Structures are given as structure tokens and as C-alpha cells.
Structure 1
């Protein structure tokens, strides 16, 4: 069979016949046609056209132009939205900074601790007492910031407000500060006369930029009105990151107070109390006989903090306290700043009112002494007379300047009878 098939397709000399070559060519053509039909179903020459746009002509060019214009319009719209988003982002960043400083106390405590802790054994657990300081913001008052860099020591200083009405007491005030050797103090001058006087006396002085309401009170206001200003003015000191020992000018300095501070609370204040009970608190039992069996009710009592001498740290609760007092003093100009100061500091949260969450410490009444303690108790006790207080604040008596000079004579000049001429209370 094989020999026969070969015989039909080849000549006697072994070369293929003409008919065989034609048959092979036809078969190859058919095969190529099938392949092209499979690979190029739309036609071989159509697939090699340069661009579909050439086929579609002018209508496609118009659509392209319209599409380009649409894209340009969308790009312009996106650019505008991008600018708006940038502004919103900047506003959010600004709000975020404020929010960081305005987080509640629990969050601040958590951040200060760094991590959560399990409660320890009985008797070993103590809560956080020292709130973290705010982030200093020099943009609040660049001029004051530069001055505080020169005056403050370890980011703290004594600050007193004064106008020309208290010039004599102010002089005695800073003379004793200089004598003790306290370098970090500053007078906030409330009028031009005090500013000139402090500059001439070599006393660090700061005069705020003019504000109509503050200038008027500073020049002409009563002692209570001027005292209320400090809560408004002190805010900038705290925002700049400085702790302030706020001082009235009716105070005699006998030691450096910064050597006797604990710095473990938002507010560390001297007391108007005249004994351990009144200054540090006690259980006062109220008697209401008609109640019969329940006639006795226990109350907790403490004498108020003195708003003329307190140490305040730059924390969120401290700034909130200043804001609350300044706001109430602005809305209730006849209020006494010391009463408002204590109400905001001590009143607890209750229905309709959210209390201030600030930590506080009462200063030692025999180191930070008010004039009631001095004239009613200390001067009459042989043992207590030998103690040397840090400061004496003549807050209970109207004849302030005379008593201030007597305090200097007694504690500085050694005149043992210097306090004797004065009554326990006021002369009238």
C-alpha cells in the first residue's frame, strides 16, 4: 500500500508531479484563510487602520473637544474644592489644638500616667493630684512672653497688680521682697504713674496694652474692683506656661515663699482661717430640735481661701477657674471677688450646675499668716512669737500701712513691742 500511494504522487524519478504541487498550494491557502478568519474576524485591512477617529470623522473630534472642556471644568471645580478643604483642615488643626488643651481631667490624668494601672493593695492606692501643665502658647502675648523669660525663675514668679492709690504700700512691699532676695517678681502697673515709679525704682514692671474697661478700673477703681481684674489678667501668664504666686500689696515678705510651696495642686492658697480647725476644715454639728431623733445634722466647714495670696499652676482647671471668676465679676460687678473665687472653687456639681474639677491645698497658717492669726493669737503666745512666718498678709485690718510697718519692726528690726499698740480687730 505504501508503495502504491507513493507511486501516484511522484514521478518515476522520485520528484513530485505538477498536480500534487497544486493540491498542496490549495491546502495551504485554505489553512491560512482559516487562521486569518479566526484572528481577524473584522477583516485584515480594517484592523490596521491608523485610528478609530479617522474612521468616525468630524463628529468624533467634536466629542473630544467637548470632553476636554468638561475635564477642564471639573479640574477647576476640584481645585476650588481643594482650597476649601485646605481651609477646613487648617480650622480643624486649630480646633484640635484647643481640644487637646480642653480635654477633661480624666483624660489628662490618663495621658500623664502613660498607661492604665491595676489598683494596688489596700492602703497603697493614691489618685493623681497634680494636673499636667498646658502647652505654652507665646502667640497669646509675645511681649509679655519675652519679659517673663527674663524675670521668672523655673517658670514661676510673684505677680502683683497696683495703681497709684496703693503707692506707699507697694513701696514697702517690694522693699521687703528685695531685702529677702527674691528675684522673680513683677508688678502689673494699672496706670502710668505706677509704671514710671517702678521703672525709677528698679522694679520689674509690665503695662498691658490699652483696654478701655481695664484702664478705667485700673485708674479709678476701688480695691475690690482692682482685685477682680487679676483673674482676667492672670490668664495670659498661665497660657504662656508660667506658675504665678498672686500677691496683694498689703503683704510683708519675710522669707522666700517659693521655698515653702508643695506644687502638688492646681491652687495652693493661704486661708482666712485663724486656727487649725477653721483653716483646714472640721465637722460642724447643726442642731434642729423640732426634728426630734434626727435633730443633729453634721456639716463640713472650712473658712475661705484668701484671693489676695495664692499660687496657681498653668493647668486647664486653673484657667477655667480664672475664666469663671472673671465672667461672673463682669456680669455681677458688685460681687466680692473673694466670695466668687471660693464659690467657684468649692461648690460641687449638682443639678443645673457643673462644679470645677480643680485640686487645691491650704497653706500653713503659721507660715502664710493672715493678720487675724498674728494680732489675735501669735503675738500673745510666747512660743508662737518665736516663729518666723514666710509672709504676713494684713487682710483683716483697715489701717494696713501702719500695721505693715509694725510687722517689719517686729520681725525684721527686732522691736518686741512693735505690735502691742494695735487692738485685735479694727479700732472702730
Structure 2
């Protein structure tokens, strides 16, 4: 007997059952995803609720404040680092100077041992002081100029204002004729600076300084001459040796070929023969003293402060400071007299003398106008010598005599010097 099969509702309609299952599965998946997003984004996926907005704005403001504070911190750190760097640079300079002094001291000590080890009478003292460490921060603009024109860190320097324009023109023409490249005019007014530039003459115009500018424009020759001791200081601090030159000088040869460079100061003299130029024993006679009537004195005619070579050493800078200070205290003093007093006066009670080495130049090579007009032009043998420079320092009619010197020594006019008197009176 065959029995019949009883079918349920699903079995009776398979397609309807499958659709219902898919719907239930989709609902389940939707509910699951909803739960997940609800957990991850409790404030909504695209929520711009006020608390969140204010929170982000606070974060932005906070970030800006932190950035500003950090910037200030960085600026402070940079300033501290810069100060430390400057201190380190100064320490390096000091250590370098000590090392150089130590090396030079070692060299001097060795020379001293060698000298003392020789026979009697061969001992020679050490006179050459070490040069300073150059410091370009003193005057970067001047340092740049000197770097371009100096030769072996040496330079001729002259101060000039418009009052000496004609003499200056003869001065630099003679320098160019000889072929000296390392020279510089320190212009004391704008007109002379423009004049130098138009004639292709190296010139340096200092930054404005009321005291110096006033003297430079309107001061007398002596007042202007006194300025050089203040101005030259920067040259020495920059590490350059300076051949200071007045403008009433005619150059016939290159002076750098005739320097010894063994002293702090090497200067031409106002002396006119071996005794006056290089020193002598002058006996003072006082009869009332009886057998002690004769007193011996050491004499030397002064160094000429219008032409001298000065090395960049501590004693040299001290000399400039002393002279500048003296002239500031006693403005009516003659700068050449003060220059020599500071160089030669020894230490004594209440005064400490300057410990600077000095050398007198050959007065026939570095000739003053007294030697030329009183002696040389009248002597056939001496008149054939060719000086290095001639300084018209003893006579007032400077320009005429400068031109006559050029005529005699450069153009060969043997009569060019004859029309002038020995002294300053015509």
C-alpha cells in the first residue's frame, strides 16, 4: 500500500521561503552594522555638534599659543647660543694670542741662549715686540679697503682736507710716478674725497664723528695733524703696519724698500747731521760748581711726527692712546712735541714711561727740507744722491718747494733749487 507524503508550507512553496530567508539575513546584517557604527561614532558620522566644534577650535588656539611660546623659546635659545659663540670666539682669540706669544717667547728664549752662549760682547737684546691679533670687527669697512690695497699688510696713510688740495695733488702724483700701490688718503671732508675719487686715488671717508669732522673741515694744520693719532689706532687694531705721511712730501723711491721693521716706531728725524739726528753727549757748563762744573747731557733732535712707520704692537697702540689723550687734555700742545715726550721720557716718580722700541731713519734717505736746502743742494757729491722722500717740513712755502724738488730730482733741472733761501725768509 502506498502511503502518501504530507508536505509543510515551505516545502510546498520553495521560492517564497528563500526570499524570506534573505530578508531576515539583510535585517540582521543591518542591525550588526548599526551597532558597530554606533560604537565607533557615538556623535554621528557627520556630526558637527557644538561640543566637538568648540573642542577643535580650542585645540587650534592652543596650538597657536604653543607655537608662539616655542618661537620665543627658540629666539631665547638663539640669543644665548650667539652670546656663547661670541665668548668662544673671544676665548679662541685670547688662546691664539697666548700661543703665538708662547711660540715667540720660545723663539726669543732660544735666541737669548744662543746670544749668551757666544763670546763676550756679542750679547744682543730682544727689541721686536709681537704684533696684535687682527680684529676686523673694529671697522669692517676699513678692513675691506685695506685688504684690497695693502701689500704685505703695510700701507702709506695720509690725512687731508680741502685746505691742502694742491699739495696733496703733488703728493699722490709722486707716489704714482714711483709706482707705489699701497697708499690711502683718509679724507676729512667730502670735497677732498670726491677729488681723490676723480683722480683714481684710494680714499677712505670715515663715518660721521662730530669732534673729528669739525677739526677736519676747519682745523689748523697742527689740529688736523693731531687727529692722526686717533685715526691710526683702527689701522693697527686691524693688524696693519702704517707709514704715516704728511702731504708736504715728495716720493722719489718706494720707502718700503728701505725700512728695517725691527722697532715699534721707525721715524724720520728733524736732525740735520749725525750728531743731531742720532744723538750726542752735550756738556752743560756751570762754573760756580767748581770742579763739578761740567754736567753731561744726552741730546737728540726730535722725531718728525709727519713721517713715521708704526707696527701694530701693544706699545704702538699705547703710544697713540697716550698722545691722543695728552692732546685732548692740552689741546694747544704741539702734536710733534707730545709725540716725542711720550716716546722718550723715562719712567720717574709719578710717571711710567712708554716701553716702545724706536729707530731713527737715515736722514739722507728720508730727508727733511733743512738738510736739502742748507746742505745737500750746495754739495756737488750729496746733490747726486737720490733720497727716498723729501719732507718740506722746515719751510712755509711748501707747494713751491715741492714743485722745485720734482723739477730737480725728476726732470733734471739743476737750477730748480737755487732760487730759494736756506730758511723761511725770502
TM score, norm. by length of structure 1? 0.76
> What is the CA–CA distance in structure 2 between the aligned matches of 1:271 and 1:117, rounded to whole Å?
31
* Cα distance between partner residues in 2 of 1:88 and 1:342: 43
2:148 is matched with 150
Distance 1:397 1:174, change over 3 A: same
Change (3 A) 1:117 1:394: closer
Cα distance in structure 2, aligned partners of 1:381 and 1:325: 38
Cα distance, 1:407 vs. partner? 0.4
1:28-427 aligned at under 5 Å gives the runs 110=105, 113=108, 117-118=112-113, 119-121=116-118, 122-427=120-425
| Distance of 2:337 and 2:106 partners within structure 1 | 34
Q: Residues 389 and 117 from structure 1, CA distance in 2 versus in 1: closer, same or farther, beyond 3 angstroms?
A: closer
How many angstroms does 1:129 deviate by? 1.7
Secondary structure at 1:154's aligned position in 2?
coil
Q: Is the 8 A contact 1:109 1:128 kept in 2?
A: no
Q: Report if the CA contact (8 A) 2:183-2:202 is conserved.
A: yes
Q: CA deviation at 1:101?
A: 7.0
SS of the residue 2:207 aligns to: coil
Change (3 A) 1:108 1:235: farther
Q: In structure 2, do the counterparts of structure 1 residues 427 and 297 end up closer, same or farther at CA, with 3 Å as the change threshold?
A: same
User: How far off its partner does 1:87 sit?
Assistant: 8.0
Give, in whole Å, the separation in 2 of the partners of 1:89 and 1:313. Answer: 30
SS at match of 1:314: coil
CA deviation after TM superposition for structure 1 residue 88, in Å: 10
- Following superposition, the deviation at residue 331 of structure 1 comes to 1.1
SS state at 2:309 partner: strand
Secondary structure of the corresponding residue to residue 234 of structure 1: helix
Q: How far, CA to CA, are the matches of 1:224 and 1:419 in structure 2?
A: 27
In structure 2, do the counterparts of structure 1 residues 334 and 282 end up closer, same or farther at CA, with 3 Å as the change threshold? Answer: same
Task: Give the deviation of 1:239 after TM superposition.
Answer: 0.4
- Do the aligned residues in 1 keep the contact of 2:368 with 2:391 (CA within 8 Å)? yes
* Residues in 2 aligned to 1:232 and 1:416: alpha-carbon distance in whole angstroms: 41
Task: Output one character per residue of 1:87-141: Cα deviation in whole Å (capped at 9) or x when no partner.
Answer: 8997798599679979xxx989736526695422312211112111100000100
State the aligned residue count.
343
Contact 1:162 1:194 in 2 (8 A): yes
Cα distance in structure 2, aligned partners of 1:220 and 1:101: 41
Deviates more, 1:212-221 or 1:114-123: 114-123
CA contact (8 A) 2:178 2:253 kept: yes
Superposition RMSD in Å: 2.5
Q: Structure 1's 165 and 99: CA in aligned 2 closer, same or farther, altered over 3 A?
A: farther
Q: Distance in 1 between matches of 2:296 and 2:144?
A: 52
The 1:93/1:156 distance shift into structure 2, 3 A limit, reads closer
Do 1:101 and 1:316's aligned partners in 2 also have CA atoms closer than 8 Å? Answer: no
Between the aligned partners of 1:335 and 1:289, the Cα distance in structure 2 is: 35
1:7 equivalent in structure 2:
none
Q: TM-score, normalised by structure 2?
A: 0.76
Unaligned stretches of 5+ residues in structure 1: 1-82
Provide closer, same or farther for how the CA distance between residues 99 and 304 of structure 1 changes in structure 2, counting only shifts above 3 A. Answer: farther
Distance in 1 separating the partners of 2:375 and 2:222: 27
1:100 to 1:273, Cα distance in 2 relative to 1, 3 A: farther
Distance 1:360 1:117, change over 3 A: closer
2:28 corresponding residue in structure 1: none
> CA separation of 1:264/1:117 partners in 2, compared to 1, >3 Å: closer, same or farther?
closer
Deviations 1:359-403 (A, max 9, x none): 000000000000000000000111100000000000000000000
Mean CA deviation greater in 228-237 or 91-100:
91-100
